[in-house]
Amino acid sequence: MSAGSARVARDPVHHPLFARCYARISVTAETRTGMAEVRRRLLGGLSGRVIEVGAGNGLNFAHYPGTVSEVVAIEPERSLRKLAVEAALRAQVPVDVAPGAAEALPVKSEAFDAAVVSLVLCSVRDVPRALAELRRVLRPGGELRFFEHGRGGGRVMTFTQRALDRTVWPPLAGGCHLSRDPVGALREAGFELGPYRRTLMPESGPRLPSSYCVTGVAWRPPADAADAGR
């Protein structure tokens, strides 16, 4: 094969158009829809080594408290990862941004005190595998903080969410799905669920298929066997 025809390895997640849009919309949403406050509350009280999966353009980084010793931020999308690297330079805690996918985290088992996912479980290809990986990399008793959107509303809304998931939404929105059940998926993956709160995003105004959010904490069981989730 000549050098000119050599194939360039494709990223596990490749949504350049979505990435460009998300980089803009997400920054506006920080103030307009109160996302900055959601992020601050999501990350408050964390400490030790943290892994953030699907870090996007790094908007969580500014909200990690000083008790966090290090954040390893995994982001598979090239252009979002570049923005995350820039955000990491501005963060008050050390943040190391790395490529990788939730379904095969490029880190050792039981290496983290806490893990964070925000608006990511809607987009991963394989939710059970991603959650098994999160469980693997957390130490037993380690916590997972989550902020996700999913199934919600009445019958008409859930019908609409499912219809959009089968048609235009995932290709338009970077692989995102509207009708997933993050809390149910966490339970099925063997996490112990702590308190969680269902909210609307945005809090006021029209309810969109992506408005039904849940924020909370779940734990890898303290007595979890070393090889759990594999």
Ligand X SMILES: C[S@@+](CC[C@H](N)C(=O)[O-])C[C@H]1O[C@@H](n2cnc3c(N)ncnc32)[C@H](O)[C@@H]1O
Interaction site with ligand X (CB under 6 A) = 13, 22, 26, 53-56, 59-60, 75-77, 80, 101-103, 118-120, 123-125, 175
Q: How far is the CB of 66 from ligand X (least distance, A)?
A: 21
The widest CA-to-CA distance across the chain, in whole angstroms, is 58
Closer CB to ligand X, 76 or 229, in the complex:
76
Closer CB to ligand X, 103 or 143, in the complex:
103
Closer CB to ligand X, 13 or 201, in the complex:
13
CA distance 117 to 107: 16
Q: How far is the CB of 140 from ligand X (least distance, A)?
A: 23
CA distance 152 to 150: 6
- Listed residue (193, 118, 181) closest to 150, CA to CA: 181
Q: How far is the CB of 39 from ligand X (least distance, A)?
A: 7
Closer CB to ligand X, 62 or 140, in the complex:
62
Cα dihedral value 87, 90, 96, 101, nearest 10: -10
CA distance 120 to 76: 11
Q: How far is the CB of 1 from ligand X (least distance, A)?
A: 29
Closer CB to ligand X, 103 or 165, in the complex:
103
Q: How far is the CB of 196 from ligand X (least distance, A)?
A: 17
Q: Are 219 and 192 in contact (CB under 8 A)?
A: yes
What three-state secondary structure class fits 227?
coil
CA distance 145 to 124: 17
Find the residue with minimal CB distance to ligand X: 56
